[in-house]
Amino acid sequence: MAGLKEAFKNAAAAAFAAAGDVKEEVTLRVKASANPAYNPTTDSVTDTYTDYDVNAIPSGYDSREVNNQTILDTDEKVKILVDDISNVTPKRNDQVVRDSVTWEVIHVHKDPADAVWTLQIRKP
């Protein structure tokens, strides 16, 4: 089974390499799991993030996928190679920055071969 997973990972990496101008560089902003920063001057708490610049393949949702409850017609998805962020697990409420626009991660899925993350993102 390990050989098959490796074959899928290699195929995904080849697809990303061949994607050309379809892929774009985005910033995955992973929220720190604990210790948000407290600012005593403003009496506010700010979440802290670690940024990862990665290549992604963006796409919209097909109209058949949109149900206006869990998937809105304005939602998008981005695919990121697992190996590009090998020590990071994206999660709900992380962020993706595309073209200076910050999107919230709504749902995260990793394919069975552990090759590609698919992130459902939404503008806040």
Residue type, 95: Q
pLDDT score of 1 more than 60: no
DSSP-derived 3-state class of residue 79 = strand
Q: pLDDT, tens digit, for every residue of 15-32?
A: 887 877 788 999 999 988
Closest CA to 88 of 48, 36, 32: 32
Residue 51 has pLDDT above 90, yes or no: yes
Domain that holds residue 44: 2-122
Residue 27 sits in a domain whose CATH number is 2.40.10.270
Single-letter code of the amino acid located at 103: W
Predicted TM-score (pTM) of the model is 0.83
Q: How many structural domains is the chain composed of?
A: 1
Q: How far is it, in rounded angstroms, from Cα 60 to Cα 62?
A: 7
pLDDT at residue 44 is higher than 60: yes
Mean pLDDT for the stretch of residues 65-92: 94
Residue with the bigger pLDDT between 19 and 101: it is: 101
